[in-house]
Chains A and B, each alone.
Chain A
Amino acid sequence: MTPPGLPLWQAPPAPAPRQDSWLPAAFFLLAAVLLLFFRPGGDNSLNIIFAAIVLEALPFMLVGALLGGIFETFVSRERMTRLLPRRGWLTVCLAAGMGLVFPVCECAVVPVVRRLVRKGLPPGAAVAYLLGAPIVNPVVAVSTALAYRLDWQVVGLRLGLGYAIAVVIGLLLGRFADRGPIFTPDLAAAAGRLDFEHCSHGHGCGCHASPPAGSVAGPLAGDWLDGFLVRLGQVFRHAAEDFLGVAHYLVIGAFIAALAQSWLDRAAVMTLTGLPLFSILFMMLLAIALNLCSESDAFIAASFSVMMPLSAQLAFMLTGPMFDLKLLLMYQGLFRRRIILLLSSLILLAVLAASAGYGAWTGTRP
């Protein structure tokens, strides 16, 4: 509908794109270059560790982005939504584990959940998928297994506890949603309406284009090779957009982690981790600050294996995919503010309880 006061031939003005400040990025670049290239005493450790963390995580980021691109291109979300029961605890339980067949990292999951909510996914299930998918997915399982040298106990604990937390919080927020809306007003209003305004890429990609003229059953039914190449291009384009959307967070996180690795005296840290809960809280704070991708954060957690108990490493691997600084910002496009506060508190409490409970139960030390 045309807003009042505008002539009929004039399109409504598009909302001005948010201009990010360039100062933080410039400051980071300057500081990183200074620290990397003007190091005292020619110590190469910061360079080596920074390169190690990035090189280790990069293949998983790229392959994860590629998988996301494949699913985005070849699997319709409507079909996936149809597979779920519309209501009830079963929906929440299924949605929390849906990352196993639709793997996305925490950065990619927010726009996906927006799309699913618009298509009518129940709120509890949407929250469960939002929290569960970045942990309960095969890419995260493989990267965690590699980071922990095929220690399947760690993989099972991470995925199991992540799934349980997602289900519990999904059920709680589902009950909360029965009393009032939890999503942003525009999202709640648009639920059920199909549009592509939140597509993260330009529409020149052809993802949403109609099948070519003369095609009977889509592009692959005509010229098979052309159709395949078009689809392949869409897959890589989605992957590229997803990767570029989060890669700078990885680099910044890797640099901060490398600084910590280079400067922290492990003997001193080990004395602090003897305090009850300190190591868990410390690792949770670190996960929030580092903003690492769930597909690569296991390597960072594993690098603390000689300094922290497994319960603290689990806290790191459970917190990051569900709640960190960048997610706090991204959740603003999904939930009302009071719900963000509630969701954040629930996540932190649940991770703390699960990790501390595991630590108390096993008494595991590095």
Chain B
Amino acid sequence: MSPVGWNIPRWLSPAVFGLWGMVLLYLVMTGRYTVSLRPEFGMLLGLAHFVALGCMLALLCVPATAHRGPAGVLRLLIVLLPLVSIMGLQQNMQLSGQSFKKRFLGLGDPSWTADGDGSDGGRGGRRAAISQDLAPSDGVTERTVMEILRNAAGFHGQRVAVLGMLVQDEQILQQYGADIAVLYRFLISCCAADARPVAVAVRTPVGYSPQAEQWVRVEGTFVIAELRGNRVPLLDEAVISPTEQPAFPYLF
């Protein structure tokens, strides 16, 4: 009888299911799967955990017949590859600014422009105060980018506070103007693979330069402005302050 160590495929198949079952349980218990998925997926992952454990028990009783030889073992290792990737994910991980640049298609999303009233409050708008070290003023309701964009007309002219990340690069400067940055968060339908940035323009104070991968709270007056021929949602008179990453970095 060959030692267990020489009969790798016999034990690797149930081990694949056992490891997946344990990792799924760990992800559900810690909530770490929300780095990549909507919170609602926890129930499905929990169900998958039970199926994986059932498969492990079945293969422990009667060994799998497939996956013999080096190719079979390598295929099983391929099935384990995502576990290494998943266990490397940290709770505070998020899609990078590079992802924003790859996915950003501009501020002129037609889904909100229909709701906007088209007023031009931001054209030649007032310069923001020097603001980075100013405390946000009291009594301003915190909103998400999506809430504001979905009801652009309702928020027009109102003072709002929005969490997100600011980015300012050559393309944005050329397209919208020298004092404009873009405040964004990722909206996901199911998982990070379908993440798309939803964003508003922010008129930044003179000399302000956003830091990469830094979460900020921007308090400003929401208007629909025309910037270099583009009608865009804009936070004017902005007060920008660094803040902690929210528990769920994504919008759903």
Q: Residues of A with Cβ closer than 8 Å to B?
A: 17, 19-22, 25-26, 28-29, 32-33, 36-37, 41, 43-45, 47-56, 58-60, 62-63, 65-66, 146-149, 200-202, 204-206, 232-233, 236-237, 239-241, 243-245, 247-248, 251-252, 254-255, 257-258, 261-267, 270, 299-300, 302-303, 305-306
Bound Cα distance from A239 to B63, whole angstroms? 13
Please tell me if B196 contacts chain A, counting CB pairs below 8 Å.
yes
Bound Cα distance from A146 to B38, whole angstroms? 11
In the complex, are the beta carbons of A45 and B95 less than 8 A apart?
Answer: yes
Q: Residues of B with Cβ closer than 8 Å to A?
A: 13, 16-17, 20, 24, 27, 33, 35-37, 41, 44-45, 47-48, 51-52, 54-59, 61-72, 74-79, 81-82, 84-86, 88-89, 93-96, 98-99, 101-105, 189-194, 196
Tell which of A22, A55, A62, A244 touches B70, judged by Cβ atoms closer than 8 Å: A22
Tell which of A37, A48, A206 touches B192, judged by Cβ atoms closer than 8 Å: A48
Contacts A243-B55, A265-B102; A302 near B82 (Cβ below 8 A): no
In the complex, are the beta carbons of A248 and B69 less than 8 A apart?
Answer: no
In the complex, are the beta carbons of B58 and A50 less than 8 A apart?
Answer: no
Write out the residue numbers on chain B whose beta carbons fall within 8 Å of the beta carbon of A267.
104-105
Contacts A43-B98, A49-B192, A52-B193; A241 near B64 (Cβ below 8 A): yes
Tell which of A41, A59, A240, A303 touches B48, judged by Cβ atoms closer than 8 Å: A59
Bound Cα distance from A274 to B8, whole angstroms? 51
Tell which of B48, B69, B81, B98 touches A45, judged by Cβ atoms closer than 8 Å: B98
Which chain B residue has the least Cβ–Cβ distance from A306? Answer: B196
In the complex, are the beta carbons of A252 and B78 less than 8 A apart?
Answer: yes
Which chain A residue has the least Cβ–Cβ distance from B35? Answer: A48
Write out the residue numbers on chain B whose beta carbons fall within 8 Å of the beta carbon of A43.
96, 98
In the complex, are the beta carbons of A51 and B89 less than 8 A apart?
Answer: yes
Tell which of B37, B47, B62, B66 touches A244, judged by Cβ atoms closer than 8 Å: B66
What is the predominant secondary structure among interface residues of chain B facing chain A? helix
In the complex, are the beta carbons of B82 and A254 less than 8 A apart?
Answer: yes
Shortest CB distance A251–B (Å)? 5
Bound Cα distance from A156 to B11, whole angstroms? 43
Write out the residue numbers on chain A whose beta carbons fall within 8 Å of the beta carbon of B20.
58
Bound Cα distance from A201 to B62, whole angstroms? 10
Contacts A52-B191, A266-B105; A36 near B85 (Cβ below 8 A): yes
In the complex, are the beta carbons of B95 and A48 less than 8 A apart?
Answer: yes
In the complex, are the beta carbons of B74 and A29 less than 8 A apart?
Answer: yes
Write out the residue numbers on chain A whose beta carbons fall within 8 Å of the beta carbon of B74.
22, 25-26, 29
In the complex, are the beta carbons of A245 and B33 less than 8 A apart?
Answer: no
Tell which of B47, B67, B70, B78 touches A28, judged by Cβ atoms closer than 8 Å: B78
Shortest CB distance B199–A (Å)? 13
Bound Cα distance from A44 to B66, whole angstroms? 35
Interface centre among A22, A45, A245 (most CB of B within 10 A): A45
Bound Cα distance from A50 to B102, whole angstroms? 16
Contacts A28-B78, A56-B191, A59-B45; A36 near B52 (Cβ below 8 A): no
Bound Cα distance from A267 to B197, whole angstroms? 13
In the complex, are the beta carbons of A302 and B190 less than 8 A apart?
Answer: yes
Write out the residue numbers on chain B whose beta carbons fall within 8 Å of the beta carbon of A200.
66
Contacts A300-B193, A306-B103; A47 near B89 (Cβ below 8 A): yes
In the complex, are the beta carbons of A47 and B85 less than 8 A apart?
Answer: yes
Which chain A residue has the least Cβ–Cβ distance from B82? Answer: A54
Bound Cα distance from A32 to B36, whole angstroms? 19
In the complex, are the beta carbons of B62 and A233 less than 8 A apart?
Answer: yes
Write out the residue numbers on chain A whose beta carbons fall within 8 Å of the beta carbon of B65.
201-202, 241
